[in-house]
Amino acid sequence: MEFLHTMVRVEDLNASMHFYCDLLGLIEVKRYDSESGRFTLVYLAAPGQLEEAKSSFKPTIELTYNWDKEQYNGGRNFGHLAFSVDNIYDACNTLMSAGVVINRPPRCGHMAFVQSPDGISIELLQKGEALPAQEPWCSMKNTGSW
């Protein structure tokens, strides 16, 4: 068995592309527009797995954008997407500077949670050993849910 992709339905493709690509750093590897089905599929990969994703489209996140307006509720019901990051504090600073709420700050220097524009929980994990605890993260409280 192999993991292929995670599919996430999105309400606003531009907002989602900004979040996943511009802020988290994922890279688009494939896009498919279906006129008859009235949807767009966008496959995204992490930079460290880009070459594999280009050849096999795995492991990827598939953003599914239905052209006819739909509202999706309960983004948390499937769990979360997890990404390792080189520096958890830098990643959280980038997201927070762009207006993303850090739902579970990286108080321990190892783990944080944020949400995508569609309410999907995103777990950020520090690569390797946890970084030494530092402010303002140590004092931050949890916000909302993840």
Catalytic residue annotation: 123
Tokens of 110: 């190892």
Tell me the torsion sign for CA atoms 80, 81, 82, 83: negative
* DSSP class per residue in 13-58: HHHHHIIIIIIT--EEEEEEEETTTTEEEEEEE-GGGHHHHHHH--
d(CA 8, CA 130): 29
Q: Which helix (H) or strand (E) holds 89?
A: helix 88-97
